[in-house]
A and B are shown apart, each in its own frame.
Chain A
């Protein structure tokens, strides 16, 4: 770092403080936001941060000038945060930021209009990012990681400040999404429920009044939750909304949505085209799709084994496992079609032994009992129409459409 004179340091700090006060008095949300975006590492923030390491007594500076002093509760900790962040002391930076943010929120509550909403967004984003950095720092030195949790509590405070009548409501969805990100990271996903309730059922909000990009994020997270709870019809609606309304240039976001939408679509019998998987680099689903197309159970199991870690991490493993029934259905249909070609009059009688042979040929170890069991469940779930004669060891298929397609509906429970 080049030598910084006391005078220059003093100038930089007062410059930052002045810009803050000017922004507030002229209701300039954009400038204000830039001053609060600590983790962005803008050069305009690095300059005063460096200065703070030279000019030690910034508190006095804040308190001496009346203009600055009125925002002392915000500015003093904010300067501390800047300084700590620059020094790589993230835990300290977080603690200071939380103080500053709390004070800022107080002021925001008093302002009648929502002019500073953009700054509140920055606050919500930064508290999470700084908390994540702080927890990483704490965890690597073996200490208790609690900052992200604290950030969650603060976000709830912001949420509370925005919920209600008035122009400030428009920011609520953004904050809700920050909360989702925190809860997903912490693994306390069930806490999302109360946020969702506030947004959807408490009748405070009309989803149409929110910016589209916030809705996309919201639908993405709530859609994911529906996937975990295996409510495929709702998950399909939400994730499809997110995909359709996602900005065309946000390829990474689309990929994230598709990662969850594809298993949902598979579960309702809709297969993605190969080019989609290739374009969005989701080739882990490639063999799953093939298995569904060809009725190759071995391929499905293989795919699940090969990408097990990835599927478990994203939480779609159990959803994909369930596709086995559809793969069985496909295989039985193939056998039926082949039989029909050979001898149409006997095609609707599927010997259980034939199914066993087919599966053995595919390398699956299967006996008569298990095959009968599978056929029973296929019939029960309406994936196959017909009945089983246990005595004659044969499945008698319905002459009409014995293997009904799912057509966008999930397999019945």
Chain B
């Protein structure tokens, strides 16, 4: 009598280590397909039978069936009318600036926490092509709007969350979904840098935190999508880079911890990802940062970081540089102030910016007889300011 079921061997699939696409919260949200959904997507049909994508803890009550959306606009008509009545329209959605009038071309569906699928109608969910064009519209807004960045960010942050909600409700798991999630991760990474630039505003600290939290949520879902993709083909072309983002986030001291340490996260990764250049790069940067080898850290960063990787890392550089300054301050010879020019070369920062950073950290700088700026060492006043540090980009030489 057969005990074991036949186990087909799949290329690139590591059965005992395949990450379980289940949520970390205690009540699992289960999606069971009602019927084969008709969709425009060109990707393979078999993925609909795949382990379920189960993202937002925020969706609240358990979802018991897939929906297939039919909403033709960026925002369902019912919501448009309701928000016009309540005058709940973002500045981007107002027709000719009127807070009580919008249009199908301007209104974008808001993220809504409480809906269970039982209450939703299909006409309120946007199908894939509409979601695609909505995302394109929002990304374009980021590039072209002349509103202050925090305002644009806030709007796009919310509206992209709603897009992800619609994707989850329809259980869209294919290449299209991957593309869209990658776009949204990009948005959050670029926001991460732009928001950090305005470090002096007090509420921006929480904005940055929320943005990073959302970035990590997107990445978590994206990784599940990649897993599903990997069962039928090899690594997705951007997969290694996006995994490296998760690692690089750990360069920041104050990121929201998504439950487990980096050590535990590495355990679940497949060999092909771990051996990729992007992962090697990011893991090495982490090593240099943890060991305090700031010389190698900056040369390696300059040599190998992609644009997005740099964008992600730049807001963390000040803290790393501040630490380097404290090492120099601590270990130097008290009769020989340290030349700022040299330090600024090593730390890949402009000399004037380095001077600013020293001052922000409570350290004085002086000038020597030759007129060169120096840092007197063994100062006892070093401290990392509470409000955060100014962001200086990587200066290449």
Contact = CB atoms under 8 A, between A and B. Distances in A.
A136 B287 CA distance: 36
A43 to B, nearest CB: 16
A359 B52 CA distance: 52
B293 A149 contact: no
Given A149-B22, A377-B327, A318 B262 contact: yes
Given A187-B19, A315-B266, A389 B333 contact: yes
Interface stretch (B58-66, B68-76, B334-342): B334-342
B331 A322 contact: no
Interface string B215-255: 00000000000000001000000000000000000000000
Interface string A270-314: 000000000000000000000000000000000000001100111
Contacts, number: 150
B292 interface: yes
B148 interface: no
A387 B51 contact: no
Interface stretch (A25-33, A139-147, A164-172): A139-147
A153 B21 CA distance: 17
A376 interface: yes
Q: What is the interface residue range for chain B against chain A?
A: 35 or more
Contacts of A228: 260-261, 263-264
A378 to B, nearest CB: 8
Given A88-B5, A153-B26, A322-B291, A376 B263 contact: no
A137 B5 contact: yes
Interface stretch (A4-12, A197-205, A367-375, A401-409): A367-375
A318 B289 CA distance: 12
| Residue of B26, B271, B342 contacting most chain A CB atoms (<10 Å) | B26
Given A88-B4, A387-B333, A389-B336, A377 B292 contact: yes
Interface of B: 1-8, 15, 18-22, 24, 26, 28, 30, 49-52, 231, 259-264, 266-269, 271, 274, 286-287, 290-296, 324, 326-328, 330-334, 336, 338-339, 342, 346
The bracket for how many chain A residues form the interface is: 35 or more
A88 B2 contact: yes
Contacts of B26: 153, 191
Contacts of B268: 187
- Main secondary structure, interface of A, reads helix
A146 B22 contact: yes
Contacts of B290: 318, 321-322
A90 to B, nearest CB: 9
A207 interface: no
Given A146-B22, A315-B267, A369 B5 contact: no
Given A136-B15, A189-B260, A370 B295 contact: yes
A87 interface: yes
A9 B342 CA distance: 88
